[in-house]
Amino acid sequence: DIVMTQSPDSLAVSLGERATISCKSSQSVLFSSNNKNSLAWYQQKPGQPPKLLIYWASIRESGVPDRFIGSGSGTDFTLTISSLQAEDVAAYFCQQYNTSPPTFGQGTKLEIK
């Protein structure tokens, strides 16, 4: 199985500041058929299901604010929240869907400083 490792496990950022979460995969998640990276980011608020934010490493899901930016390729990926808002307090998970079984990172808990 591909192991997804996120860092840090938790993060506290001031309102309006940038938050950056890293996700590394144990092997490449590049999908050769379309030359895109099979990497998604999800946001999960307490008591709620995960919500898709980013897919193919950098494409924002419809309705997701443009302060959420996905980047990276191969085995190293980043989710950046350019200007933290109070409603962004949540856990964030990366997921690879290139190889079965699809696997998730352990999660990063984002809080307000």
Query: What residues line the site for another protein (CB under 8 A)?
Result: 31, 38, 40, 42, 48-52, 55-56, 61, 93, 95, 97-98, 100-107
Our CB check for another protein shows the closer of 20 and 44 to be: 44
- Alpha-carbon Rg for the chain, nearest whole angstrom, is 13
Q: How far is the CB of 74 from another protein (least distance, A)?
A: 17
Q: Which CB atom, from 72 or from 105, has the smaller least distance to another protein? A: 105
What does 61-90 look like in DSSP terms, one character per residue? PTT--TTEEEEEETTEEEEEESS--GGG-E
Distance CA 49, CA 14 (A): 25
The distance of closest approach from Cβ of residue 108 to another protein in the complex, given in angstroms and rounded to an integer, is: 10
Least distance between another protein and beta carbon 78 (Å): 17
Distances (CA, A) of 53 to 26, 62, 87: 22, 8, 14
Residue type, 23: C
Cβ closest to another protein, residue 7 vs residue 14: 7
